[in-house]
Structure formats: structure tokens, C-alpha cells
């Protein structure tokens, strides 16, 4: 097993772990990834989105750091809950062993017990198959969250220092990411020099230094960093501002990152099947073709109406899924961020300028998406946005809370229940069209939602559905979930009489999973979070349909999907026909 450790200095959040993994995958290697988060939380499920960004849900239901979403999107993986290591998980595991008596008679300490637990966890998880091959990975990317020097990172830094010696020479490379600020036009190297000095004093040795900067570093700056940090000139890479993050692998490949990794990890000594090498080469060609945007691409204007607009990372996977679909449709995403509260009548009274600006942004957009969230703040504004999209025949996509909002809007304006609400916001409302799930817990918050991949069954008579067609006219679809509340089944019959169509349900037939309007260009609400399974080279069908409807090419996309499915069926039956897309 080979390991690539990506650590950060000066500031966090600028790691290049995903790009390193992609470049290795293009050589035919099987790659996995582990993210280390030094906070004490067991997982990211109880963290606030405005503080930490979105909580990314894994296939097995694990609630993880958003970086695992980056790994899955870039590398087309299905990671597990154990691929996200936190201080809380490590200490919990060690303390449970101590209580069982595994350390009986010994003093349990950070060194060696915590550090050993970290190393054992990495080595065990690195071997778990996470791609479509079902085989043990060849390389594991390890990203150390935060910055080297943080108090909470110290046990992990010590463990990784020991780990380098444990795995031996030629099996681990450390890429340290630093920031080079530009002040009055001058590239300042002192922050990077101090970061590397602190890193070395902690025990980690940088093999490569990736310098984040607004522009390509001057040669004299690169030489200064190499000289001051005791590395060769070729070991210093520049990660400058570029058009999209999907082009970062191209930038690093141009600077020879893959050659440096191949040399340091002695990858030439590995024997790879020809099929894997070809698959990797094809991946690289397709990636370059997909991510290089053309200057003549027309924009697609979409309004995102949400609760956590102050921190865009709160909706990171939603934005990425929209980007994937826009690239697939040869368009450039132009996203208007609208705070749902700004659409409410209360804002009209308190701040008319903000109110009218928000409505102006919404009404000029070609599509509207309302993503997930918790709590009642901003819901009234989201209901107004859903009403506008429904009445004006504007493509609408509701995700989780966004689906519940569409149901609430229909109950209020189509069924005449003006006080219709969710139990989450008004537990005493007469018409609670959204209720708490019976199996949920209101006492224990962590890990008690309906989590992970669940199966949705398309209902008989839904053959007309645009969403079902986008999934290839199948009988079921599988997407990841994260919710505590659901549509009240007692109101389903009345809502359907009013025009809503619950075309997707769970295996019991009592839990509503998908709602769609029939006589509308595209009005879909899903209880799931299909953004979590969207990939750069394989956009989510739900998001692709929404973006295609916004552009006006939904029928063409559906036709292509059906042709592709027919082509796949023919190949399985031994018939090879060419299909043009």
C-alpha cells in the first residue's frame, strides 16, 4: 500500500488531496481516501452548516466532513463512515477498549495508545474496497484537516510521524499545502517558511510543497521557498487561481506532480493490468474534455433559495451537482444566491430594498432550486418561491426540505389550508402536512435521522414522469437520505386530488419520496439528496433534468438517456450498436 499525506499550513481549506488522487487514478491505480478531522465530535452530523459547511452523507449513512464529498466526486468512490477519522471516534474507541479491560493493568496514554489507534485505523480502512472494481486499493490519500501546529492536531501529527517510519521508505509522500499572500504586488514567503519550520519541528517532513497563490509564482519566489525550506526547486508547486477547481489536476500535471509521485513512491515497480492502465488513460482524456469550459458557452441562470446563504459551503454538493449538469449541457452555471428570508413579507416592511432585490433576482432566473435545511427560519420565503415557480411554469427542484416546502405550498394554495405547516416549525398547527417520523428520536440527536442509501419505488401509472425517464424508465431509484420529517400520509389523497403526484414511495408505500407536477416543464421534489451521488463525469439524473429543463433541452437529454440505456442493453445481449450523443 502506498500513501499520500496532504497536510496544511498557514490556513486550512486549500488542500489538493482530490487532485493528487485523480492523477494517480489516471495511471491505472486504485485509489481510496481518508480525511482526518481533529475536532472532538464523533461525526459531522451535529455541526452547524454556517460554521462548518455541509454535512456530507455517505452510502452507509455516515455523516462526514464535506471533503469526503470532494473525494467521491473526483475519484468516483463510495467511501464509508470509517474513511472520516475524528478525535471523537479515536478517543471513543480507545476508552471503550479501556472499559472492556483490553489495557488492564496499564496506564492509557496519548502515546502510544491514541497514536497506535490512529495508525491501526488508517491501515485497516485503507484496504477497504471503495470503487467499482471491488478490489483492495493501491494508494490511500490521507488529508490531515486543520493546520499543523493546532493543539488538537498534535496526536495525529505524532501518529503520522511514526506512521512514515512504520510503512517504510518509498511508501509515503507528504504534500504540504501553504499560502503565499501577495501584499502590494510582492509575493510573501515568510508564512510558508514558518509553516515548514513548525512542521519539521513537529516531526513531519515535506516531500512536496504546494503553494496556493492568486497568480503563478515568480521563479525567484519559488527558488527562495525551495532554498529556505530545504527542498529542491522541482519540489515546489504553484496552485494559482484558475477558472474552475476541476482544472486543478491539469495544472498540477503540467508542473510534474505525477512524475514526482511516481518517483517518490516507486510506482514504476508496481505491475498494473493493461485494462486498468487503459481505463486510467481514458479517464484522463474524458476529464480534460469535460472540465475545460469554452469561452463561448452560454450561461444558465439558476436561483438558489436557501437558509444558509451566508456560507456557500453549506450547499457545496448542491452547487457541484449543478455544475456537473451544466458542463454536461455545455453551459456555464450562473448561480444567484437568495436568502429565503429576503422573500418574506416581513422583509418588505423592514427592508424594502433587500426584498425587491431578492425578488428581482428570482424572477429573472430560468430555474429555482430550494435545498435542504432545518428549522423554521426562511421557510415562508421558500414557500413563496415554490408558489412562484409553480404558477409561472418555471423549472423547480426541491431537495428534502425543498420537497416539503412544495407540499406545504400546495396544501396552502391548492387545498385551501392556509395554516398548513410542518410539525418541525409549528407542532400545534391544525393541518400538519409534514410530520416527525415515528421511528425517529427527539432525545438523541447524533446519528438518529433516516440516513444513507434508500430505495424509492416508482408507482404504477407514473410512466409519464420526467424524473423516472431521467433514471432510464426504471422501477426503482436509489439515493442517499438525511431527514427527520416526512410528508403526512393522511393528506396524500387530498394533495393528489389538488394536482400533486407522489410518483415515488418507499417499500411500505406510506413514505412519500418523490412529488412531481404533470402539466409543468419541470416541478420535482425529492426527499432524498441526489447531489451526494453526482459525479463530475456522471451528473445526478435529478439535477441533470432540472438544469436541462432550465435550458430547454430536457426532451433531448431524456432521449439520449434512453438511447444510452438501449445501447447498454444491446451490449449485454451481445449486440454492439453505435449511438451518437
Indicate if the alpha-carbon torsion angle 128, 134, 140, 142 is positive or negative: negative
Q: Rounded distance, CA 47 to CA 246, Å?
A: 27
3-class SS string, 361-418: HHHHCCEEEECCCCCCCCHHHHHHHHHHHHHCCCCEEEECHHHHHHHHHHHHHCCCCC
The yes-or-no answer on residue 531 being catalytic is yes
Q: Rounded distance, CA 340 to CA 320, Å?
A: 21
Query: Cβ(419)–Cβ(431) under 8 Å?
Result: yes
* Angstrom distances, CA of residue 192 to CA of 8, 35, 211: 10, 23, 8
Q: Rounded distance, CA 106 to CA 102, Å?
A: 9
Query: Cβ(236)–Cβ(211) under 8 Å?
Result: yes
Out of 113, 431, 481, 529, which one is annotated catalytic? 529
Query: Cβ(318)–Cβ(369) under 8 Å?
Result: yes
* Angstrom distances, CA of residue 532 to CA of 73, 190, 452, 503: 9, 39, 10, 21
How many CB atoms within 10 Å of residue 268? 8
Burial of 139 (0-12, 13-18, 19+ CB in 10 A): buried
Secondary structure class of 75 (helix, strand, coil):
helix
- Both ends of the chain: CA-CA distance in Å? 40
Selection from 387, 323, 361 nearest residue 547 by Cα = 323
Helix (H) or strand (E) holding 115: helix 115-125
Burial of 289 (0-12, 13-18, 19+ CB in 10 A): exposed
Out of 54, 143, 513, 531, which one is annotated catalytic? 531
Q: Rounded distance, CA 316 to CA 420, Å?
A: 31
Out of 211, 329, 400, 415, which one is annotated catalytic? 400
DSSP code of 536? Answer: S
Query: Cβ(525)–Cβ(398) under 8 Å?
Result: yes
Beta bridge partners of 524: 397, 516
Query: Cβ(494)–Cβ(367) under 8 Å?
Result: no
Q: Rounded distance, CA 1 to CA 391, Å?
A: 57
* Angstrom distances, CA of residue 250 to CA of 255, 258, 351, 560: 9, 11, 46, 29
Query: Cβ(537)–Cβ(75) under 8 Å?
Result: no
How many CB atoms within 10 Å of residue 123? 15
Query: Cβ(548)–Cβ(325) under 8 Å?
Result: yes
The yes-or-no answer on residue 370 being catalytic is no
Beta bridge partners of 458: 504
| C-alpha cell, 12 | 486550512
Which residues are catalytic, by number?
Answer: 400, 529, 531
Amino acid at each position: 500500500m502506498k500513501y499520500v499525506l496532504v497536510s496544511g499550513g498557514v490556513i486550512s481549506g486549500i488542500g489538493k488531496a482530490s487532485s493528487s488522487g485523480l492523477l494517480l487514478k489516471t495511471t491505472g491505480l486504485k485509489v481510496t481516501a481518508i480525511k482526518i478531522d481533529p475536532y472532538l465530535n464523533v461525526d459531522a452530523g451535529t455541526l452547524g452548516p454556517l460554521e462548518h459547511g455541509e454535512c456530507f452523507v455517505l452510502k452507509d449513512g455516515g455523516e462526514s466532513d464535506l471533503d469526503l464529498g470532494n473525494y467521491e466526486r473526483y475519484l468516483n468512490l463510495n467511501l464509508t463512515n470509517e474513511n472520516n477519522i475524528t478525535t471523537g471516534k479515536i478517543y471513543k474507541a480507545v476508552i471503550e477498549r479501556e472499559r472492556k479491560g483490553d489495557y488492564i493493568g496499564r496506564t492509557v496514554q496519548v502515546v502510544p495508545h491514541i497514536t497506535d489507534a490512529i495508525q491501526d485505523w488508517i491501515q485497516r480502512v485503507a484496504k477497504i474496497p471503495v470503487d467499482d472494481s471491488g478490489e483492495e486499493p493501491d494508494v490511500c490519500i490521507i488529508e490531515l484537516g486543520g493546520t499543523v501546529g493546532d493543539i488538537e492536531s498534535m496526536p495525529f501529527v505524532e501518529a503520522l510521524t511514526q506512521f512514515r517510519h512504520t510503512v517504510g521508505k518509498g511508501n509515503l509522500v507528504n504534500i504540504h499545502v501553504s499560502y503565499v499572500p501577495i501584499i502590494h504586488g510582492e509575493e510573501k514567503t515568510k508564512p510558508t517558511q514558518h509553516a515548514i519550520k513548525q512542521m519539521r519541528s513537529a516531526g513531519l517532513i515535506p516531500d512536496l510543497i504546494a503553494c496556493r497563490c492568486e497568480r503563478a509564482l515568480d521563479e525567484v519566489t519559488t527558488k527562495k521557498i525551495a532554498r529556505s525550506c530545504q527542498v529542491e526547486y522541482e519540489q515546489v508547486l504553484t496552485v494559482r487561481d484558475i477558472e474552475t477547481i476541476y482544472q486543478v489536476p491539469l495544472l498540477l500535471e503540467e508542473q510534474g506532480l505525477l512524475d514526482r509521485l511516481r518517483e517518490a513512491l516507486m510506482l514504476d515497480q508496481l505491475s498494473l493490468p493493461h485494462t486498468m492502465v487503459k481505463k486510467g488513460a481514458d479517464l484522463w482524456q474524458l476529464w480534460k474534455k469535460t472540465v475545460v469550459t469554452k469561452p463561448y458557452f452560454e450561461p444558465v441562470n439558476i436561483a438558489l433559495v436557501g437558509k444558509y446563504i451566508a456560507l456557500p459551503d453549506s450547499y457545496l454538493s448542491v452547487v457541484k451537482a449543478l455544475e456537473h449538469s451544466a458542463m454536461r449541457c455545455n453551459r456555464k452555471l450562473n448561480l444567484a444566491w437568495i436568502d429565503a428570508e429576503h422573500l418574506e413579507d416581513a422583509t418588505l416592511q423592514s427592508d424594502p430594498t433587500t426584498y425587491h432585490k431578492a425578488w428581482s433576482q428570482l424572477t429573472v432566473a430560468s430555474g429555482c432550486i430550494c435545498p435542504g435545511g432545518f428549522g423554521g427560519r426562511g421557510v415562508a420565503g421558500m414557500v413563496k418561491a415554490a408558489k412562484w415557480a409553480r404558477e409561472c411554469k418555471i423549472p423547480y427542484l426541491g431537495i428534502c426540505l425543498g420537497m416539503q416546502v412544495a407540499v406545504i405550498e400546495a396544501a396552502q394554495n391548492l387545498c385551501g389550508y392556509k395554516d398548513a405547516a410542518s410539525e418541525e416549525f409549528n407542532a400545534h398547527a391544525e393541518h400538519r402536512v409534514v410530520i416527525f417520523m415515528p421511528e425517529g428520536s427527539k432525545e438523541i440527536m447524533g446519528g438518529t435521522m433516516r440516513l444513507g442509501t434508500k430505495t424509492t419505488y416508482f408507482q404504477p401509472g407514473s410512466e409519464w414522469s420526467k424524473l423516472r425517464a431521467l433514471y432510464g424508465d426504471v422501477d426503482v431509484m436509489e439515493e442517499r437520505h438525511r431527514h427527520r420529517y416526512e410528508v403526512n400520509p393522511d393528506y396524500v389523497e387530498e394533495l393528489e386530488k389538488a394536482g400533486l403526484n407522489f410518483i415515488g414511495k418507499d417499500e411500505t408505500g406510506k413514505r412519500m419520496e418523490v412529488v412531481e407536477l404533470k402539466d409543468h416543464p419541470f416541478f420535482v421534489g425529492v426527499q432524498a439528496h441526489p447531489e451526494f451521488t453526482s459525479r463530475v463525469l456522471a451528473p445526478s439524473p435529478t439535477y441533470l433534468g432540472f438544469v436541462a429543463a432550465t435550458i430547454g433541452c430536457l426532451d433531448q437529454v431524456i432521449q439520449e438517456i434512453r438511447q444510452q440505456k438501449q445501447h447498454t442493453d444491446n451490449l449485454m445481449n451481445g449486440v454492439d450498436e453505435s449511438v451518437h450523443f
